[in-house]
Chain A
Amino acid sequence: MSDVLYQSVVLERSRNPRHAGRPVVFMAEGQSENRMCGDKVSVFLDGALLRHEALGCTILAASAELMCEAATGKTVDEIATLSDKFEHLLKTGQEIPELGELNALASIAQYPSRLRCATLPWSALRDALARAGSAGDSASG
């Protein structure tokens, strides 16, 4: 069937998350919610740790997973660049080599009503970074 959005990477990542769960201690928490559907996601920063708690659809969960993987160890500036490129990917569907596995979500471009599902974790990450403190801090500490 032509359900290109639900390819194996997306399904696998949402089913078997490696970065999910609320840490016992963390430095900052960022949140984002889609009021239209009730989906919400929290992102937790603590030193080198980047984790998420995604309550919602497959796309949200997979995007949160892929984001945590891609953003771990990056500086705030690097994350901003990554986020811009990711949004470009979602809007155009054109894969960008340096986005790596995030390219699995390229077909969102064909599903405009689902765009917000993929960008929600990134909003939460921006929120977490803003709460974590001054610009220039590394997300990974």
Chain B
Amino acid sequence: MSITTLPLDVHAIRQDFPILSQKVHGKPFVFLDSGASAQKPKQVIEAMRFVMEEQYANVHRGLHYMSEKASDAYENVRDKVAELLNAGSREEIVFTRNATESINLVAYTWGRSTLKPGDAVAVSEMEHHANLVPWQMLRDAHGTELRIIKITDSGELDWNSLEEVFADGKVKLLALTHMSNVLGTYTPVERLAKFAHAHGARILLDGSQAIVHRAVDVRAIDADFYVFSGHKLYGPTGIGVLYAKADILEAMPPFMGGGDMIVSVSYQKSTWARPPHRFEAGTPAIIETIGLGAAIDYVRAIGFDAIAAHEQHLTEHALATLNQVEGLRILGSAQDRGGVFSFVMKDAHAHDIATLLDRQGIAVRAGHHCAEPLMGRLGVSSTARASLGLYTLPEEIDALATGLERVRKIFA
């Protein structure tokens, strides 16, 4: 594994991420927690600074120069997101706070207006709490059912279980992760969308992890809903995306009420704006949205082919390297997997692993990863997790393996 074989000039890319040159506890900072939130390139930081210094006013309101500039910059990002996802139109892109809010929006508006008591929503055993709890809340408030599709021991969706869950025809929504934040498993989304549609159900995909690593084409997938957060895609926090097909959005009632989501308001009655503005009440996250636009420009300039090739290379290297650490067990072995590795070690608890690695400058996540039911399914209470980004170097995986060897020796 030499650097020269990398599909990306990672060293040049790393120059764009100021935080990566820091030292932590006197050691080079090895950031392997991008799955929780990615670091930001200076292009994003600069775009946000620029809008505040030179182009800032509220959007969609002022008939003045600055408001028009800010509105244009803000709405321009909607086009960028539509292109990123290959959406049919810019009106299919709704800005939210994050993927969690996007799913809650769908559950609250589409769920309550379209689903009837007795209809079922199906999720898998490997969902983030964000794609589980909103459906539980809908169940409790609205009388829908929540069904759980099993996963196999390798961490892939169990197709037999999927068919069983759909057998009685009550499932009207299949809500699934596109890539597991714990196991790294990619789900076969095109096939799943076909399956859901053939059974009269809609499909919602949580793309929080997948959007970072692969080109996503919502039309090729035939996704009805697709959600992601900006902050995992090298953008800022506070900005997320809900994609939904135009006819679905058009039929959905508003989520929150307030300014910007109306056509007219009187004391007797208000009328709703058309999508996407119907779902964007109040002053939006203008600066963060523009930051997201810069992040999208950044990753698209590098190109998802190059990113995916680089991460594939890293993933293979990581699997080979980590599997050599004695007593370490990686959870999940899906055929189609990406750069998220959850692992446990004999005699060393995940938190002890994370603390000891941290002292060597290596940042990994430890805990249940907002997926408590999945931890139960895997028979563990918590795991340590390393997750990769486009700036990750093979040497950082090696540093992790060396760090884990030291952990092993302490607990041996």
Contact = CB atoms under 8 A, between A and B. Distances in A.
A57 B375 contact: no
Interface in B356-376: 356, 359-360, 366-368, 372, 375
A1 interface: yes
B25 A57 contact: no
A38 B381 contact: yes
A2 B25 contact: yes
Nearest to A55: B381
A56 interface: yes
A80 to B, nearest CB: 28
A39 B356 contact: no
Contacts of A117: 351
20 contacts: A1-B359, A1-B360, A2-B359, A5-B355, A6-B410, A36-B367, A37-B350, A37-B367, A37-B382, A38-B367, A39-B351, A39-B382, A56-B349, A57-B350, A57-B351, A58-B349, A59-B351, A113-B355, A114-B351, A114-B355
B316 interface: no
Interface residues of B, number: 20
B383 to A, nearest CB: 10
Interface of A: 1-3, 5-6, 11, 36-39, 55-59, 111, 113-114, 117
B96 to A, nearest CB: 25
A133 to B, nearest CB: 32
B348 to A, nearest CB: 8
B352 interface: yes
Contacts of B348: 58
Contacts of B25: 2
Interface of B: 25, 348-352, 355-356, 359-360, 366-368, 372, 375, 381-382, 406, 410-411
Contacts of B375: 38
Contact of B352 (A2, A38, A59): A59
Nearest to B26: A2
Given A37-B366, A38-B368, A1 B406 contact: yes
B359 A38 contact: no
A11 B410 contact: yes
Contacts of B356: 3, 6
A8 to B, nearest CB: 10
A38 B367 CA distance: 7
Given A57-B351, A59-B351, 5 more contacts: A1-B359, A1-B360, A5-B355, A37-B366, A39-B381
Nearest to B409: A1
A36 B359 CA distance: 21
Contacts of A38: 367-368, 372, 375, 381-382
Contacts of B359: 1-3
A58 B381 contact: no
A10 to B, nearest CB: 10
Contacts of A37: 350-351, 366-368, 382
B269 to A, nearest CB: 44
A47 B359 CA distance: 42
A103 to B, nearest CB: 19
Contacts of B360: 1
B351 A56 contact: yes
Nearest to B406: A1
A117 B367 CA distance: 13
A58 B351 CA distance: 8
Contact of B410 (A3, A55, A57): A3
B245 to A, nearest CB: 38
Contacts of A59: 351-352
Contacts of A39: 351, 381-382
B368 A57 contact: no
Contacts of A5: 355
Contacts of A2: 25, 359
Counting from the closest, the 3 A-B pairs by CB-CB distance are: A57-B349, A57-B351, A38-B381
A22 to B, nearest CB: 17
Contacts of A114: 351, 355
Contacts of A3: 356, 359, 410
A78 to B, nearest CB: 30
A114 B358 CA distance: 12
A129 to B, nearest CB: 26
A79 to B, nearest CB: 26
B274 to A, nearest CB: 42
Contacts of B368: 37-38
